[in-house]
Amino acid sequence: QLIIHDQVDFNLALDHAASEEELATKIATEAHTPFDLAKDALFRATLVQCTNNESVLLMNMHHIISDGVSVQILIKELATLYTRRAYQLPLRLPELKVQYVDYAHWQRNWLQGEVLQQQIAFWKKELSGAPLLLPLPLDMPRPAVQRFVGSLIDVPIERSLAQQLKQASKKHGVTLFMSLLAAYQVLLAKYSRHHDICVGIPLAGRGIKETE
C-alpha cells in the first residue's frame, strides 16, 4: 500500500564531536541505524559541531525515497540554499513542473494489463536459457552461498585514451557507458569462453528530466 503524507514533521538533530574518531563513530552509527517504514519519515539529518568554525551535516534517507539521481539534485539545491543564506539572499528554488508522484501514478496505471504482459513476455523470451552462473577462472573457490564480500580497485585511464573512447562512442551514436559496458562484456567472454553474457546494471530508468 502506497501512503503519501501531505507534510512530514522534521527536526534537525544537533550533536557535537570532539575528535575525528568520535565523528567517524557517529557517522557509522547513523549509517547503521535502520528506518521503521511504518512510522519513520525515512529521512534524518544531524548537524554535528566539530570545532567552533566547522560542522558536519549528516543526512540519511531510505533508498525507497531516493536514488543517485535525486540525491545529486538534493545536494545541489542544499548547496544553493546554503550559499543564498550566507549572502542573505531570498531562499527560493524553482517550482517542480512535474511531481514524481504524478509520474509514479501514470506509470502504475500504464504498466498493467496487456502492456505489462507484453513486457513480461519480451523479457522471458530474451532471458530464456540464460546461464545462471558465469564460469570465470577464479583464484579462490566460489562459496556455496553468495557473501557479497569484495573489493573496489580504481584503475586510472589516461586522458588521451578517455578522449578517444568518447570520440569513438560519439562516432557510433552511443554513450560512453554503452561502449565501456560492451568492452566489459567482451572481457568476460574472453576469460569465461562463453558468448552468452548477462550483466546486471542499476539504472534510474527515467525517460524525461522532470522525473529526476
pTM score above 0.95:
no
What CA–CA distances, in Å, run from 10 to 3, 41, 207? 17, 8, 31
Buried b / exposed e across 60-79, counting CB within 10 Å, b at 16+?
ebeeeeeeeebeeeeeeeee
Strand stretches in the chain, DSSP E: 13-16, 43-49, 55-61
Contact yes or no for 179/162 (Cβ under 8 A)? no
Q: pLDDT in tens for each of the 212 residues of the chain?
A: 667 777 878 889 999 999 999 999 999 999 999 999 888 888 999 999 998 789 999 999 999 888 888 899 999 999 999 999 999 999 988 888 888 888 888 888 999 999 999 999 999 999 998 888 888 888 888 888 888 888 899 999 999 999 999 999 999 999 999 999 999 999 999 999 988 889 988 877 777 788 88
Three-state SS at 146: coil
Between CA 68 and CA 89 the distance in angstroms is: 29
What CA–CA distances, in Å, run from 24 to 34, 45, 179? 18, 16, 38
Grid coordinates 553468495 are at which residue?
146
What CA–CA distances, in Å, run from 172 to 43, 51, 132, 176, 181? 42, 53, 31, 10, 14
**Which residues, at least 6 apart from 81, have a Cβ–Cβ distance to it below 8 Å?**
91, 93
